[in-house]
Amino acid sequence: MYIVHGTWIPANEQGFVQNGAFYLWVETDTALHNSHHRADKIHPRQLVGEALYTFLMDTFHLQEKISGFPGAPSNKLDMKYFLLPTAAERPAPSFELLRYVEEEPPTEFELAPWRIQCYQLTDLIATLNTIHFITLNAASDFQLGADLLFWYQYTQAFKEIIVRDQYIPAIKARTRASQSKSGKRINRNAKDGYELHPGWEILSDVYETNIQQYIAAMPAVCAAGMNSADEASALFNKESLLRHFSECLLRDVVASASFPNEMQDRLRDTLLFECINPYSSRWSTSSRLLRKATPQEIEEYRGWLSWRKNLTRAHRNAAFTLCFQLLEAEFMDIDHWHLHFLVASQQDPSLKLSLNEYWDLPPKQRTRATKPFGQDFEKNLLLALGSAARIYPTIWEGLNTDRPSDCELTLEQAFAFLKESAWVLQDAGYTVIIPAWWTPQGRKRAKVRLKTSSRAPKKSSKAAGTSYFSIDKLIDYQYQLSIGGQVVSEAEWRQLVNAKVPLVQFRGEWMELDREKMQQLLEFWQTHQGEGQGEISLMDMIKLGTESDDLEWEHDQALSEMLAHLHDKSAFAPITDPRSLQGTLRDYQRRGVSWLQYLESLGLNPCLADDMGLGKTLEVIAHLLKEREGIEGLPPTLVIAPTSVLGNWQREIQRFAPEIRTMVHQGSTRLKDKQTFVETCQQHDVVLTSFALVRLDEKLLHALKWHRVVIDEAQNIKNPKAAQVKSILKLSATYRLALTGTPVENRLRDLWSIFNFLNPGYLGKEAQFRKSFETPIHKDNDQDRLETLKKLVEPFILRRVKTDKRIIDDLPDKIEQKMFCTLTPEQASLYEAVVKDVEEELQNAEGMQRRGLILATLMRLKQICNHPAQFLQDGSAFTSTRSHKLERLSEMLEEVIDSGESALIFTQFTEIGGALERYIEHELHYNTYYLHGGSSVSRREQMVHDFQNPETEPSIFILSLRAGGVGLNLTKANHVFHFDRWWNPAVEDQATDRAFRIGQRKNVFVHKFLTMGTMEERIDAMIEDKKRISSLVVGNDEGWLTELDNDTFKDLIALRRSAVME
Amino acid sequence: MKQFGRNWWGERFIAALERFTDAGRLGRGRSYASNGRIISYEISQSAVTAKVRGSVNPYYGIMTAPTYKTTIIFRTISPSHWKQVISKLSSRADMVTQLLMGEMPATIEDVFAELDLYLLPHSARDFESDCSCPDYANPCKHIAGLYYVLAAALDQDPFVIFGLRGLTREDLQAELAKTSLGKILADSLVKEEIEPEPVASYFTRPIRESDETDSANHKEFWSGARRLPPLPAIPTKSSVPAILVKKQGDFPPFWPKAASFIRVMEEIYERVRIRNPQMK
C-alpha cells in the first residue's frame, strides 16, 4: 500500500523574496532494506529513486516541466526533511498507513526530522486536480494522505479568486539597507531609498474566509516540511504558511498564462510588464528590483499606493450598500423606465432609504435619517454613485442635479440593464432590485408544450397482473406553443416574433422576447405539427421532462396524478398487511410495498434503498405475498444475493411467509439438469441463489422467464464487464428489483450499474454517462449536473433513512434483528467432528465432569461457528471466505460506515476481538478501537473520548463482553453487533445499553448473529420459548444448559446439514 | 457617456489653442516637451514660468545650449463670475463626484457656457506668452513645448486650470462650502500626502512557532483537528471581467500609456483564466 503525501515547503532563504515549492512523497507499508536509516535519519518507509519516479509518472501521468528561471517551479527529485511524530527512534506511520501495518499509534512522541525523497510538483491547481481525479477511479493499491487532500481542496477553492479576477497588480517597497565599508549591513533608513518589487495582491473577501476555514482544518504535517535536517525544531505557523503558499501560487498561475509577444511589447516599460513576467524579469540585469528606485519610480509607486487605497475603500465601502431598483414603464409610455437609487444598511439590509425620500427631508432631519448608514454619508454616497457610474455610465445622467435620486431609461436601455448591467452591478457589490417578471421564478418563457394523455388502459395480460399500461409506447402527445404556461396561437406567436423590441407586453405583463429561440421553436412546432399525435413511453417522458428546458408539459389528469405520485413518495397509502403474513409490518414498510406495487404497475423497475435495518427483506416478502393474493400460478421470482445472506433470506421467508415455496439453488447438491431445474423452479414461488452461481449456472437460469429478478446488495454489480454481471443482465424477467442499503445516489458508478440492470438505457450508455455526469460531477464538482442526475433517478429510488421523521415515529427506540448465517463446509466438518467426539464421551460422563464437558463443548462449537481459525488456534488465516458470519459482518459494516454511522461489536472471546480488530483495520480499513480486559484505564478513557468526538470519522468499537464494564458511554454508535451469543438475554441487553443510553438521539439497531442449523439457532429458539413461558427463568449464566438430559443435548448440538452453504 | 482617453482634457486644451495658433508651430512643441527640453516650470497664480533648453546653432555662433525663460500668463475670470460658476458646479452631483475622484468632469465647459464664459482659452486674447529666445514668431518652439507640458499637468490635476484662470484655492474652498454637496468637495481638497509603505518581505513570511496542540495527538498531526470545509462548486466567472479595478476608473496614476489600463487588465485577467494550463 502506498500513501501519497505532499506539502508546500518554503525555501530556506531569508531574502526579501522567499520562494517555495510543492513536494510529493510516497509512504509505503514495506520498509527500506537499509538498516542505517536511524543514524542517518532516513525515513524507513518511503519510495525512493527510480521506484518513486516510476510510480508517480505511471500513476499520475505527470508532465515534465523544467524552468530555467530561479524561483520558478520545475519537476525534479529532491531530498527534503519533515518533522514527524517519532517514538523509539522511529517515525510513526501516518494515520492512513496505520491500517496497513502491524503497529499501534504512539500515545507519546516527539517531533524529529526525517529525510525523505520528494518529487517537486508544478502547475499545482491542475496537477492536484488530476491526481485527485485519478485516485477516485483508480485501483485501491494507493491512496492520498489527508495532507495532499487538504492542498487539493484548498487549490480548488483558490480558483475562485482567479476566476473572479479578485487580485490586482501591486508594488512592494523594500527599504534599502546602507552598506558600511566592511560590507556589513547597518540600519535601514528611508534616506537610503527603496527598492520596488512589482507583483500581485489578492483583494478578496472569499480569500480571507478561505484562509480562516482552511487553517482550522489543516493537518499539522502540512506545516512540517524543511530543506535541511537542522533548519528548525518547530512547525510552521499555519496561517503564515497558507498565505505564503497562496501568494506564490498566484504568482505562478499568472506566470503560466500565455501572453503573446504583441501584448508583451504593448506593456513594455509599465508595471504590468513586470507583473506578468514574474520569473524572467525578476533577475534580468536591467531590472530595477535590485537598485534604488529613481524619484520617478517612487512617484509611480505613490500613484499606485493612492490607487490601491481608493480601491480598498471602494471595496470595503461605507456602512451602507448602494441599491438600484428598476421600476417598469407604463404600457402606454414604454420609454420611461426608472432606475431608483436607494441605500441599505449593511448591518440590517432590510433597512432601506430611497434617495428620493432623503433629499425631501429638511436638512436637520437628514442627519438623523442617515444614522444607520454611517458617517460622512453624503460623501460616501457620492463616491459610491461615482464608482457605480464608472461601471454603468448611464448613472451619470441621474447625477446631473444636486439631489441625485434616479435616472431614466428608454426601453432599449432598460433591456440592456436587465440583460447585463444589473448583473455587473451586482457582481461589483451593489444590490439590484428588478421586477418580478424578470426573476427566474417570475419569468415567462416561450416553450413548446406537449399535451399528453394516457391511453385508455389495455386489457392487461395475465403476466402483467394489474398493470395499467403495457410497458412501451403508452402516452399520446400533441405539440402546442406556449408562453409562461399559457397556450398561444400561431398568429399571436408570430406577432411577438415580429415585434421590433426586446421587451413586450404580453397579456398585461412585461416579458422578454428571445426572438431567435422563438423562431426555432416555431419551426420545430411547424415540422412536428403535421405528424398529429405522437407516442412516447413513460420512461422517456420522465427523462425528457427532467433534461429538456425548452419543453413544457400539459398532462391529462391521470398522468399528472401519476407524476405527482412518483415524485411524492410519502403520499403512498399503506397497503393492508397480506393476509397470510406471519407478523405485522411497520407503517413505512406498508408504504414501501405500496410504492413497489405502483412502480411495477407502471412498468418502471424500482430500487429499494432503505437504510440497513429497516427491513427491506420483509418488504419484498410482503410484496410477494400481496401479488399472490387472488392470483395463482405466477412464475417464480429469482433472488440473487451474496452467499452470506442466502440463509437469512431463507429463514425470513420461512418465518414470515411459510406458504411461499422457496428453493435454494446452492451448493454441490444443487440441480444440474436443465429440464429438472426448470420444472422444479416452476413449482416454487422463490428461487434463491448466489451471485457466483448466476454465471456458473447461466444455462439453467436463462432457461426460463422469471416473474421477477431481485438483486440483493445491488452495489455488487458495479462492474459491467464482469462475466457475472453480464449473466445477470441477460436474465429474462417481467420485473426487476434492486435492493441496496448504501446511499447509492452518491456513488455514481453503482448508480449507473443498478439502472443499467433495472431500466437499461435510461441513464445512457456507460461512456455517455461518464461524459455527461461522472466527470463533471467528480472532476469539476458540477452541482447542476448532480442536480439533474438526482432528479432523473429520484422517481425510481426509495431510500428512507433511520433518521427520517416519519420512520422514527414508526420505529421502536431499539430494533433487534437476528442475522442468520450459514456454515462454510470447513466449519461444518469441524463442527461434525466435535459433535461426534462428544456423543461418545457423554455416555460415560457424570456430575461435575459432565457439566464441564457440556460447557466445554458449547464453547468449542461457538468457536467453530465464529471462525475455524479461532477453534483451530493454529494461526491460520482469519479470512471471510472461511466464515460466512465474518463475511456478513464485513458487508454490514460497510453499509454502516458508508452511511456515516458507527457501530459496536461485542464478543465474549478476546482472541476474536483481537482478530476482528486486525481484520477490520487492515482489510476493511476502518477506524477501529478495541477494548478488552487488558486495556488500562487511561487507554480506555482515551478510546472512548476519541470514539465519541464528533470530529472523528465513523468508527468501529470492539468490546469484549465481560471487559466492557458498566459506565461506558458510547452513544455515537447506533448499531450494535453481537458476533457470538451469550445465552443470557440480560447480559446481552446490558451490553447493548452501552449504545442505548440517555443522550442517544438515534434509534439503535441490534444485530444478533446466529449460525443456522447449529446449536446457536436452537438455543436461541429455546430462549425465545422460555421468554414466552415466563415461569421458566433463565439463570444469569449459561449453566442452565447443563441441566438438559443427554438426548436433548445431543439434539441441541446436532448439525442440520441442509443449512450449510458453499 | 463616451469613454475619454488618458489625455482628453490636455488634448482639448491643445485643440483649443489650435483654433487660433499656427498648427505647424504648435506641433513642434510636442517633441520639445517629450525630449525633456523643459528643464523646470512653476505655476504661480495665473502665470506659468519655465526654463527651457534651446538648441546649439553654430551658424549663429551658439556653441553651448542656451537656457531660455518662457512665460505664459492667463487672463483671469473675475471673482464674481467664479462665484457664479462654483455655485452652479456645486449643485451638480456628477461634477462634484468626478472632481472628488480627481477627474475633470466631461461636461465642465457646459457650466461656463451657461454664463458665456470659457474655461479653456477661447481666443488669443485669453493669454499672453513670451520667450527670451531670438525667435520673434509666437509661439516659438519653447512656448509650444511649454503648452504640451502644461497640457499634461492639466490631466494630472483638474484644479490647475482653475488656478490659472484666477481662482485661488482659498476662494474655491470658501465658495464650495456654501452648498452641502460643495462642502464635501471642499473638505477633500486638503490633500493627504502619501508616504511609502515598505514591507519586510515580498510574500507573507512563513514563520515557525511551536504550537503544543499540533504535536499532542498522532491522529490530529496527520489528519487535522477538523474536517475540511465542503468542496466548493465550480466558480463561475463574473458577468463582466475586471470589476475590481473598474471601480477605480481608468488611467490610474501609475499607468503611463495612452491605451486604456482597464482594457489591458481585462485582457490579462482573461488570459490568466483561460489561456492557462493550470486552470484547465
Q: What is the Cα–Cα distance from A438 to A420, expressed in whole angstroms?
A: 12
Residues of A in contact with B101 (CB under 8 A): 310, 383, 386
How far is C-alpha B154 from the geometric centre of its chain's CA atoms? 7
Q: Do B100 and A379 touch (CB under 8 A)?
A: yes
User: What is the model's pLDDT at position B120?
Assistant: 87
Give the ranges where A899-1045 is alpha helix by DSSP (H): 910-919, 937-948, 985-992, 1015-1028
Contact between chains at A162 and B272 (C-beta distance less than 8 A): yes
Strand A927-931 versus strand A352-354 pairing type: unpaired
CA distances in angstroms from A293 to A170, A172, A188, A447, listed in the order given: 15, 12, 15, 64
Q: Do B233 and A783 touch (CB under 8 A)?
A: yes
Q: Which residues of A touch B237 (CB under 8 A)?
A: 163-165
The reported pTM is: 0.73
A1031, pLDDT greater than 60? no
In the predicted structure, residue A157 carries a pLDDT above the cut 70: yes
Contacts of residue A477, defined as CB under 8 A and 6 or more positions apart, other chains included, come to: A450, A451, A452, A453, A533, A534, A535, A536
Long-range contacts: A832-837, Cβ < 8 Å, 24+?
A: A832/A1055, A834/A860, A834/A861, A834/A864, A835/A861, A835/A1053, A835/A1054, A835/A1055
Residue A70 has pLDDT above 60, yes or no: no
Chain B residues with beta carbon closer than 8 angstroms to that of A403: 93
Residue A787 has pLDDT above 70, yes or no: yes
- Lowest model confidence (mean pLDDT) among A690-694, A810-814, B11-15: A810-814
| pLDDT at B3 (0 to 100) | 45
- Chain A residues with beta carbon closer than 8 angstroms to that of B206: 10, 18, 20, 236-237, 240-241, 244
C-beta atoms of A404 and B209 within 8 A: no
In three-state secondary structure terms, A234 is coil
> Which chain A residue has the Cα nearest residue B213?
A220
Contact between B214 and A781 using a beta-carbon 8 Å cutoff: no
* Nearest chain B alpha carbon to A243: B204
Q: Are A981 and A988 in contact (CB under 8 A)?
A: yes
Q: How far is B268 from chain A (nearest CA, A)?
A: 8
| Residue A181 confidence (pLDDT) | 47
In the prediction, which pLDDT does A1061 show?
A: 67
CA pair distance A344, A352, nearest whole angstrom: 4
Rounded to whole angstroms, the Cα distance separating A151 from A147 reads 7
- Residue A382 distance to chain B (closest CA, Å): 6
Helix (H) / strand (E) containing A854:
helix A847-866
- Give the CA count within 13 Å in the CB-facing half-sphere of A70: 7
- Residues 6 or more apart from A787 whose CB is under 8 A from it? none
Distance CA A517, CA A418 (A): 18
B23-34 and B8-18 helices, crossing angle to 10° = 140
Q: Which residue has the higher pLDDT, B7 or A794?
A: A794
A1038: Cβ contacts below 8 Å, ≥ 6 apart:
A855, A858, A982, A983, A984
What is the SS3 assignment for A812? Answer: coil
Helix (H) or strand (E) holding A156: helix A146-163
Q: CB distance B226–A18 less than 8 Å?
A: no
- Residue A112 pairs in a beta bridge with A84
Residue A966 has what pLDDT? 58
Q: How far apart are CA A651 and CA A665, in angstroms?
A: 15
Select from B129, B116, B123, B132 the least CA-distant residue to B84: B116
CA–centroid distance for A427 within its chain: 30
Please name which of A521, A362, A383 lies closest in space to residue A445, comparing C-alpha atoms. A521
Q: Are B185 and A296 contacting, i.e. CB atoms less than 8 angstroms apart?
A: no
Name the percent of chain A lying above pLDDT 90: 35
Long-range Cβ contacts of A967-970 (<8 Å, 24+ apart): A968/A931, A968/A944, A968/A994, A969/A944, A969/A994, A969/A997, A969/A999, A970/A904, A970/A944, A970/A994, A970/A995
- Is A946 in Cβ contact with B278 (below 8 Å)? no
- Nearest CA of chain A to the CA of B262: how many Å? 11
Q: How confident is the model at residue A473 (pLDDT cuts 50, 70, 90)?
A: very low
Is the pLDDT at A315 greater than 60? The verdict is: no
By Cβ distance, the residue of B1, B180, B276 closest to A393 is B1
Taking contacts as CB-CB distances below 8 angstroms, the residues of chain B near A105 are 218-219
Q: Among B224, B228, B277, whose Cβ lies nearest the Cβ of A123?
A: B277
- Say if the Cβ atoms of A124 and B209 lie within 8 Å: no
Taking CA–CA distances from B276, the nearest residue in chain A reads A257
Among chain B residues, the shortest Cα distance to A91 is held by: B218
Per the CB < 8 A criterion, the answer to whether A938 and A964 are in contact is no
Residues of B in contact with A782 (CB under 8 A): 233-234
**Contact criterion met (CB < 8 Å) for A109 and B204:** no
Percent of chain A residues topping a pLDDT of 70: 90
Q: Is the dihedral of CA A26, A27, A29, A30 positive or negative?
A: positive
Distance CA A172, CA B198 (A): 7
Asked if A159's CB is within 8 angstroms of B247's CB, the reply is no
Element (H, E) at A786: helix A783-793
What are the tens digits of pLDDT across the range A162-187? Answer: 999 999 999 999 888 755 444 444 45
Give A98-103's long-range contacts (Cβ < 8 A, gap of 24+). A98/A921, A99/A921, A99/A922, A99/A925, A99/A926, A100/A1, A100/A29, A100/A922, A100/A925, A101/A29, A102/A918
Best B187, B247, B264 member to test A by mutation, with max A CBs in 10 Å, is B247
When the pLDDT of each residue in chain A is averaged and rounded to a whole number, the result is 84
What pLDDT score was predicted for residue A1019? 84
- Indicate yes or no: CB of B254 within 8 angstroms of CB of A304: yes
Distance CA B198, CA A920 (A): 58
b/e sequence A772-795, b meaning 16+ C-beta within 10 Å: bbbbbbbeebbeebbebbeebbbb
Question: Residue B206 is nearest to which of A10, A252, A259, comparing CB atoms?
Answer: A10
Q: Place A717 in a pLDDT band, splitting at 50, 70 and 90.
A: confident
Q: Which of B114, B178, B254, B265 to mutate to test the interface with A (most CBs of A within 10 A)?
A: B254
Mean pLDDT lowest for which of A142-146, A883-887, B191-195? Answer: B191-195
Please judge whether A386 and B100 are an interchain contact, meaning their C-beta atoms are less than 8 angstroms apart: yes
What is the three-class DSSP state of A74?
Answer: coil
Cβ within 8 Å, pair A247-B239: no
The pLDDT value given to residue A287:
53
Q: With 70 as the cut, is the pLDDT of residue A485 above it?
A: yes
User: What's the 3-state SS for chain B?
Assistant: CCCCCCCHHHHHHHHHHHCCCCHHHHHHHHHHHHCCCEEEEEEECCEEEEEEECCCEHHHCECCCCEEEEEEEECCCCHHHHHHHHHHHCCCHHHHHHHHCCCCCCCHHHHHHHCCCCCCCCCHHHEEEEECCCCCCCCCHHHHHHHHHHHHHHHHCCHHHHHHCCCCHHHHHHHHCCCHHHHHHHHHCCCCCCCCCCCCCCCCCCCECCCHHHHCCHHHHHHCCCCCCCCCCCCCCCCCCCHHHHCCCCCCCCCCCCCCHHHHHHHHHHHHHCCCHHHC
More confident site: A789 or B211: A789
Confidence at A576, pLDDT banded by 50, 70, 90? very high
A1042 against A884, higher pLDDT: A884
**Cis amide leading into A635 (omega within 30):** no
The whole-angstrom distance between A175's CA and the closest CA on chain B is 6
Mutate one of B98, B263, B272, B279 to test the A interface: name it (highest A CB count within 10 A): B272
Q: In chain A, which residues have their Cβ closer than 8 Å to the Cβ of B86?
A: none
Q: What are phi and psi of A685, to 5 degrees?
A: -95, -35
Q: Record the cell numbers describing residue A961, joined without a space.
A: 463482553
Residue A955 has pLDDT above 70, yes or no: yes
User: How many residues are there in chain B?
Assistant: 280
Rounded CA separation A794/A799 (Å): 9
Mutation site, A165, A282, A407, interface B, largest B CB count within 10 A: A165
The verdict on a CB contact (< 8 Å) between B208 and A162 is no
Q: Read off the pLDDT of residues A624-653 as tens digits, 9 standing for 90 and up.
A: 999 998 888 899 999 999 888 888 899 899
What is the distance between the alpha carbons of residues B186 and B75, in angstroms, rounded to a whole number?
A: 25
Among all residues of chain B, which has the CA nearest to that of A308?
A: B248
Which residues from A are below 8 Å from B220, CB to CB?
A: 219-220
* Contact assignment for A256 to B278 by CB distance below 8 Å: yes
Helices A587-601 and A616-628, axial angle in degrees (round to 10): 60
Cβ neighbour number for residue A1043 with a 10 Å cutoff: 11
Rounded CA-CA distance B165/B126 in Å is 9
Mean pLDDT of all residues in A969-984: 86
Mean pLDDT for the stretch of residues B80-106: 87
Residue B276 to residue A106, Cβ atoms within 8 A: no
3-state SS string for A482-515: EECCEECCHHHHHHHHCCCCCEEEECCEEEECCH
Which is higher by pLDDT, A151 or A992? A151
Asked if the Cβ–Cβ distance from B221 to A219 is below 8 Å, we say yes
Tell me the chain A residues in contact with residue B280 when contact means C-beta distances shorter than 8 Å.
126
Left (φ > 0), alpha (ψ -120 to 50) or beta: where does A603 sit? left
**How many Cα atoms are found within 13 Å in the side-chain-facing hemisphere of A369?**
18
- The confidence score (pLDDT) of residue A683 equals 93
Q: In angstroms, rounded to a whole number, what is the distance separating the alpha carbons of residues B113 and B120?
A: 11
Report CB contact under 8 Å: A172, B202.
yes
- The distance of A909 to chain B (nearest Cα, Å) reads 29
